[in-house]
Chains A and B, each alone.
Chain A
């Protein structure tokens, strides 16, 4: 079966702009989680969506938001981009909500803010 698909793979934006990243989970998976990965901080949890509702949220400012559609596809949005937002953004899909379930990751979107 098809894996987790994230688009785009690479993005370059300037400070102050906003960006939307997309994630299509594995067919049948209803949970989508987003993570930010940087060399200094490692993988940091952003939020989790299940059945179109945000179920968990990490410690990120309100500039980071997301949503999930009825087909389980998810988008995350970052507004007023800062240089420090440069990172690999990873999406993971799971059958069930919560962390105690196998998570399948996409290849990520590499965001560079200049």
Chain B
């Protein structure tokens, strides 16, 4: 089992729809990061959240870190075809020092 469980695994939606991707764990994390990866490329960091309850916005993307620092969500408003990609959450466990990744969510936005 993955330390970080992401859901859903796949998401195919129409342009303009909203969506939420979840990243859950039973462990406490000192920080959580979200990456987007496009085919043939390495992951690109979108955001890092470090404080329980923290909310960060990046244009149409809203990231939230759970109060207990065990989970996080990524919400996209009015999805665009350019949002298509693999979304990965990754975190460092409390008292740990290695970045562990979730399995990822493949998002496809159709025009």
Contact = CB atoms under 8 A, between A and B. Distances in A.
Interface of A: 4, 33, 35, 42-45, 48, 55-56, 58, 90, 92, 97-100, 102-108
B40 interface: yes
B101 interface: yes
B48 A102 contact: yes
B42 A107 contact: yes
Contacts of B45: 102-104
Contacts of B91: 99
A33 B97 CA distance: 12
Given A90-B42, A104-B45, A105-B42, A43 B98 contact: no
Given A98-B92, A100-B31, A100-B92, A45 B42 contact: no
A107 B43 contact: no
Contacts of B97: 55-56, 97-100
- The majority secondary structure among interface residues of chain A is strand
B92 A99 contact: yes
Contacts, number: 62
A42 B92 contact: no
Interface string B38-73: 001111110010100000000000000000000000
B2 interface: yes
A97 B98 CA distance: 9
A48 B42 contact: no
Interface string B67-96: 000000000000000000000101110001
B101 A99 contact: no
16 contacts: A42-B104, A43-B90, A43-B104, A44-B101, A45-B98, A45-B99, A55-B97, A98-B98, A99-B91, A99-B92, A99-B100, A100-B30, A100-B92, A102-B33, A102-B48, A105-B44
